[in-house]
Chain A
Amino acid sequence: METTFDFSTITQWFNNLLLGWGLAPWLVTTIECVLVGVGLLLLYALLALFYIYFERKVCAAFQCRLGPNRVGPLGLLQSFADMFKILIKELIQLKHIDKFLFALAPYLVIIASMMAFAVLPWGPGLQIIDFNIGIFFLIAVSSIGVLGILLAGWSSNNKFTLIGAMRSGAQMISYELSIGLSVITMVAFAGTMNVEEIVLAQDNCWFIFAGHVPAIIAFVIYIIAGTAETNRGPFDLPEAESELTAGYHTEYSGIHFGFFYLAEYLNLFIVAGVASLLFFGGWMPLHIPGWEGFNHIMNYIPGIVWFIGKAIVISFIIIWFKWTFPRLRIDQLLKLEWKYLLPINLFNLALMVMIVICGWYIKW
């Protein structure tokens, strides 16, 4: 680990610099929070733009097309143009809606995904907040999103959005169980909920290898449940366009619609990011015990590249699902969760606990 650059030295230096100017500690914290917030917003927007471009290119490749290729080199500016368009679009005023809840809903959705960003380990020391129940916090805040979707569906005063929200509520609450249980399985394996410690514990061997069978089962369940949690195909029932036009966000326009749209892509990143944290070592480079030279070279690749790279590979898999499979029906979706994933998950948790107790995992 000696060659890896620890980002906390910069934050420490900045903190000391501000304190050295004689600023009061509360003011220092406020300034830092504002800077982090601005940075987060920028990152958020850039990631969403990247994902929109990425998904369009990937789906075009699956469909024997070229995808965006006119705006800028390789169409790179296409999503910027789209974003600009959505920003200048009119927010259509609707009659007979609950105006307050209608306006609140997109913010709830986007706040939920922004808060989840706070605990993602971007690199060594590059983490907004590092505390001992990081994973728990992540699960807790990501559940707020469903509230926004339910409110959006309800306040629009439209039958399609109501059905979309109803479906979404049933779906997200069900699949939260699976996500939670598969995360708990990995927490049981790691023995901590602290994100930093989970990453460091994977120094020698990523959990997906160290935890072998139960870890792989947990990963598969996590990916399925994560796809459902982000409302992406084949689980995109809440916004099934052929049934419900656009589901819960049918009535939204302009940037309010944009928030739902962005949140969907950011949630995709969060699901992929958490998967890389729990199963593939977060920002930890690939280390193979005994191969010192190889490990040394791997360490030269910065942690942030590792983390984002892993997240993109996992999101590619989720995008692949969407552009291959047809959509499930609501009863099939719930059956999959309650009759298959949940029992397997509970069994898997017990198996993992047994493996940890007996020490049957791969250790270096």
Chain B
Amino acid sequence: MATIKENIAARFPQATFEDADVLLINIPDEQLHDLAAALRDEYGYDYLITIVGVDRVQSLGAIYFLSSTATNQEISIQVATTDRENPALTSISDLWSIATIYEREIFDFYGIKFLNNQDMRRLFLSIDWVGYPLRKDYDNSPENNAPSTQNERQSDFTQVYTRREDGSIACEDRAVFQPDDFVVNIGPQHPATHGVLRFRTAIDGEIIKKIDVYMGYIHRGIEKLCENLTYPQTLHFTDRMDYFSAHNYHHGLCMCIERAAGIEVPRRAQVIRVIMDELSRIASHCLFFGTYCMDLGATTMLFYTLRVREQILDIMEKTCGARMTFNYDCIGGVMADLDPDFVKDVKALLATLPANLKEYNKLFVGNVIAEGRLEGMGVMSREHAIDWGVTGPSGRASGWACDVRKTHPYSVYPEVEFDEITMTEGDSMARFKCRMLEIEQSARIIEQLIDNIPEGDYLAKVPKVLKLPQGHWFQLVEGCRGVFGVYIESDGGTSPVRMKFVTPSLNLAAVTDSITSGNKIADLITIAGSLDYIVPDMDR
């Protein structure tokens, strides 16, 4: 790390460094693009985890979190602009495709225009929204944004901002679709989008020409809400993003807060958390098989997979008291001790799992029609996956070993034996099989832990009023669909100044356009379905 720091200091004399948990490089906007390109091409930081917009009152800025897929090291770059009236930064969307979406999100929340980004629309909020909600001076009085009684206005045009010779900013309108495109509106109310997501799809007969992904129908402003809540209160939102990875997301946020506050989590709680994470993963993947097969018209599979999921939800209900939004992990441990039947029930589940997996394989994977529909469909290469930041089983099916449990081992994961499943095909079938194999690995992890749950406290002593010291922290965990990240910035108070959630589904939805074009409209359903995004997870 030191050598990188020296090298960068030599090449970019204006850069200043800040040692946090992730090395932070402050750089003026003019050199951002060069630095990002150098980090990507010369130092191997080829994966853009996220871009966090920040409002420091005197300046607006963005923090870019980069990671190296070879060494799994992270680095971050911070840029800022003092112009609050007309803030503009240089886009890096030509280096990473996913930056297009991340920059749109920051434009939506902070009003920072990214110059040379080819699609600078709002991402989540409607195009008529007044103000930029995550700015500290945002006026949230209801009069500004009264509920509309009119139909939603369409954004048929996108803007591209560039800097003129004289330094002023030029804006160019570009049509999203060609005038003679036949645009079919798939969503927001459509069975195959798994929630209120909208694909505006230009088709030529049955062939897809272009997809405009339209998000934000269940945007709840979770990040904004968190800024006015205490740390224990912020936990509840993570259950409601990816509701199938509720335990995993809770785990991630708890770890980030615990690390910042210096709280030691009892070992019993750590083991319980990991078992719960893996149970969620099995339940989530089972639901994926069912709904995915239903998308393909094989309804029966849903009931076979729901049987296993039901069994897991019963186990969770006994311990957590809920079947969906568990709210089980809390700062310092877990909310309640395990149910007395827990070990027995989990063992019963593990006993039935292999037979069920065999049945799924028999019913679906070997089926001629399923093979014809899935094999070679929506092929995503490893480079493509990294370019779009597609993590989780979908990224691993393309050969990218991106499992946070292996790359940044946390909790008790370093102590258990399991394999990271990677495949090379990168097609829909590989994504399907990858999840099938991951269930086996999750079962393997649980098997190793279930007999060794240590006795002791399940909850550490945590101060009643929890204050984090001044600073910022970044934490990654493996959700069921990919990398979940938490960025917390604290000024020493009881609530965060900025809390950013990095969710995998945003990338999964964003990549849909590039891997479906040229395929049939029926393949949109199989390809998008195989990515397995959750809409509240992308909209937050």
Mask: chain A, 238-276; 1 = CB below 8 Å from B; 0 = not:
001111010000000000000000000000000000000
B521 x A163 contact (CB < 8 A): yes
B304 located at the interface, meaning its Cβ lies under 8 Å from any Cβ of chain A in the complex = yes
Extra 8 A-B pairs, beta carbons < 8 Å, given A234-B297, A325-B297: A59-B300, A64-B307, A242-B295, A325-B298, A328-B372, A329-B373, A330-B520, A332-B372
Point out the residue from B303, B369, B522, B523 that lies within 8 Å of A65, measured CB to CB: B303
A242 x B294 contact (CB < 8 A): yes
Given A234-B369, A326-B367, A329-B523: A163 and B300 within 8 A (CB)?
Answer: no
Binds A, one of B184-192, B266-274, B277-285, B396-404: B184-192
B300 x A241 contact (CB < 8 A): no
From 358 to 382 in chain B, residues with beta carbon under 8 angstroms from any chain A beta carbon are 363-364, 367, 369-370, 372-373
Given A163-B521, A242-B192: A328 and B298 within 8 A (CB)?
Answer: no
B191 x A327 contact (CB < 8 A): no
The chain B residue sitting closest to A65, CB to CB, is: B303
Contacts of B525 in A (CB 8 A): 242-243
The chain B residue sitting closest to A167, CB to CB, is: B206
| Complex CA distance for A293 and B81, rounded to whole angstroms | 99
A294 located at the interface, meaning its Cβ lies under 8 Å from any Cβ of chain B in the complex = no
List 3 A-B pairs, minimum CB-CB distance, nearest first: A327-B297, A326-B296, A326-B298
| Complex CA distance for A234 and B297, rounded to whole angstroms | 7
Point out the residue from B206, B304, B364, B523 that lies within 8 Å of A326, measured CB to CB: B364
A2 located at the interface, meaning its Cβ lies under 8 Å from any Cβ of chain B in the complex = no
From 321 to 346 in chain A, residues with beta carbon under 8 angstroms from any chain B beta carbon are 323-332
Point out the residue from B184, B293, B363, B373 that lies within 8 Å of A328, measured CB to CB: B373
| Complex CA distance for A233 and B297, rounded to whole angstroms | 7
B129 located at the interface, meaning its Cβ lies under 8 Å from any Cβ of chain A in the complex = no
A159 x B299 contact (CB < 8 A): no
A63 x B296 contact (CB < 8 A): no
B342 located at the interface, meaning its Cβ lies under 8 Å from any Cβ of chain A in the complex = no
The chain B residue sitting closest to A60, CB to CB, is: B303
B191 x A324 contact (CB < 8 A): no
A160 located at the interface, meaning its Cβ lies under 8 Å from any Cβ of chain B in the complex = yes
A240 x B522 contact (CB < 8 A): yes
Given A160-B184, A329-B520: A242 and B296 within 8 A (CB)?
Answer: yes
From 484 to 540 in chain B, residues with beta carbon under 8 angstroms from any chain A beta carbon are 520-525
| Complex CA distance for A326 and B360, rounded to whole angstroms | 13
Contacts of A229 in B (CB 8 A): none
B157 located at the interface, meaning its Cβ lies under 8 Å from any Cβ of chain A in the complex = no
The chain B residue sitting closest to A325, CB to CB, is: B369
The chain B residue sitting closest to A328, CB to CB, is: B369
Contacts of A62 in B (CB 8 A): 300
The chain B residue sitting closest to A335, CB to CB, is: B372
A218 located at the interface, meaning its Cβ lies under 8 Å from any Cβ of chain B in the complex = no
Contacts of A243 in B (CB 8 A): 192, 521-522, 524-525
Contacts of A59 in B (CB 8 A): 299-300
| Complex CA distance for A361 and B356, rounded to whole angstroms | 47
Contacts of B43 in A (CB 8 A): none
Query: Which residues of A are in contact with B by a Cβ distance under 8 Å?
Result: 59, 62-65, 159-160, 163, 167, 233-234, 236-237, 240-243, 245, 323-332
B51 CB to closest chain A CB, in angstroms? 34
B303 x A63 contact (CB < 8 A): yes
A351 CB to closest chain B CB, in angstroms? 25
Mask: chain B, 189-201; 1 = CB below 8 Å from A; 0 = not:
0111000000000
B182 located at the interface, meaning its Cβ lies under 8 Å from any Cβ of chain A in the complex = yes
B472 CB to closest chain A CB, in angstroms? 43
Contacts of B522 in A (CB 8 A): 237, 240, 243, 327, 329-330
Most buried by A among B367, B369, B524: B369
| Complex CA distance for A81 and B295, rounded to whole angstroms | 29
For this complex, 13 residue pairs linking A to B, each with C-beta atoms less than 8 Å apart, are A63-B300, A159-B184, A160-B184, A163-B206, A242-B191, A243-B524, A243-B525, A326-B298, A326-B367, A326-B373, A327-B373, A329-B373, A332-B373
Contacts of B304 in A (CB 8 A): 63-64
The chain A residue sitting closest to B294, CB to CB, is: A242
| Complex CA distance for A65 and B299, rounded to whole angstroms | 13
B192 x A331 contact (CB < 8 A): no
Contacts of A163 in B (CB 8 A): 184, 206, 521
B41 CB to closest chain A CB, in angstroms? 40
| Complex CA distance for A245 and B295, rounded to whole angstroms | 11
| Complex CA distance for A328 and B295, rounded to whole angstroms | 12
A245 x B297 contact (CB < 8 A): no
B297 x A64 contact (CB < 8 A): no
B303 x A64 contact (CB < 8 A): yes
| Complex CA distance for A159 and B373, rounded to whole angstroms | 24
A183 CB to closest chain B CB, in angstroms? 26
Contacts of B206 in A (CB 8 A): 163, 167, 330-331
Most buried by B among A159, A326, A327: A326
Most buried by B among A160, A236, A242, A332: A242
The chain B residue sitting closest to A64, CB to CB, is: B303
B288 CB to closest chain A CB, in angstroms? 15
Most buried by A among B192, B299, B367: B299
B516 CB to closest chain A CB, in angstroms? 13
B373 x A323 contact (CB < 8 A): no
The chain B residue sitting closest to A170, CB to CB, is: B206
B297 x A242 contact (CB < 8 A): yes
B521 x A326 contact (CB < 8 A): no
| Complex CA distance for A64 and B304, rounded to whole angstroms | 8
Contacts of A240 in B (CB 8 A): 297, 522
| Complex CA distance for A284 and B425, rounded to whole angstroms | 55
Contacts of B302 in A (CB 8 A): 63
A238 CB to closest chain B CB, in angstroms? 12
| Complex CA distance for A215 and B297, rounded to whole angstroms | 31
A159 x B182 contact (CB < 8 A): yes
A245 x B298 contact (CB < 8 A): no
The chain A residue sitting closest to B293, CB to CB, is: A326
A239 CB to closest chain B CB, in angstroms? 10
B297 x A331 contact (CB < 8 A): no
Contacts of B369 in A (CB 8 A): 234, 325-328, 332
Mask: chain B, 393-431; 1 = CB below 8 Å from A; 0 = not:
000000000000000000000000000000000000000
B191 x A245 contact (CB < 8 A): yes
B204 CB to closest chain A CB, in angstroms? 12
A95 CB to closest chain B CB, in angstroms? 15
| Complex CA distance for A193 and B522, rounded to whole angstroms | 40
Contacts of A326 in B (CB 8 A): 293, 296-298, 364, 367, 369-370, 373
B378 CB to closest chain A CB, in angstroms? 13
Contacts of B296 in A (CB 8 A): 242, 326-327
A63 x B299 contact (CB < 8 A): yes
| Complex CA distance for A160 and B184, rounded to whole angstroms | 8
The chain B residue sitting closest to A323, CB to CB, is: B300
Contacts of A242 in B (CB 8 A): 191-192, 294-297, 525
